[in-house]
Amino acid sequence: MEAIWENIRRGLAEASPLDQANLALGLLGVGLMIRRSLWAFPVGLVAVCVQGVLFWDARFYADAILQGFFFACLAYGWWHWRCDTARAETGGAHVTMLPLRARFGWIAAGLVLTLGWGAWLHTHTDAAQPFRDAFIAAFSLIGQFLQVRKNIENWLVWLVVNAVAVTAYWSADLAYTAFLYALYLLLAALGLRSWRQALAQKREPAP
């Protein structure tokens, strides 16, 4: 156990400033998203730019390219949430739930995208971990889309993605990013709980 903590301490001490900035921006962005704050989007836009550079340098090409989609998705989410907030009397964003058939459809789409993207990375690039990289990227696409659409299932997707990402980034010597995704894992659980409460309040009949 002592050796494990020593490796963690050394990894954090040797992390780059970009990796450290990624940690700070990521935590702030997810915390704001849990609270369903519109400020999550401008913070997220800066965070994905930092992550894009960080992942490209570490040869996680799928994740690096993914940040471009995230940028567009966050910009759309910012607009979508602002419109929803303007319509809502309470000023909050409405949480929704997918039907069971749609859940299975998203899972199937994620697996197909993982296999196809992973195979392409393995054949055409020097990606460090092509299929794990593709899995993280594919299901992050789905998680981000569900999040900006305010589907509660996004937190379930992030729970799985973050668990896989922790091991992938730690093995690539991205200590701060691995630590960040470990915190993301915890925050995803908190987000799921918070959004479930919001969904339950929405379903309660008005007095």
Query: Which pLDDT score, from 0 to 100, does residue 116 have?
Result: 95
- Assigned token pair, 183: 């915190």
Query: Which pLDDT score, from 0 to 100, does residue 91 have?
Result: 45
Q: Is the pLDDT of residue 26 over 60?
A: yes
Question: Mind listing the pLDDT tens digit for each residue in 127-161?
Answer: 778 898 899 889 998 998 898 888 999 999 999 99
Query: Which pLDDT score, from 0 to 100, does residue 102 have?
Result: 95
Percent of the chain with pLDDT strictly greater than 90: 27
At residue 61 the predicted structure's pLDDT band, cuts being 50, 70 and 90, is confident
Burial of 2 (C-beta count, 10 Å sphere; 0-12/13-18/19+): exposed
Q: Return the number of other C-beta atoms located less than 10 Å from residue 141's C-beta.
A: 21
Q: Is the pLDDT of residue 76 over 60?
A: yes
Domain residue ranges in the chain? 2-203
Of 27, 26, 34, which is closest to residue 197 (Cα–Cα)? 34
Q: Is the pLDDT of residue 112 over 90?
A: yes
Whole-model pTM over 0.85: no
Q: Is residue 63 within 8 Å of residue 51, measured between CB atoms? A: yes
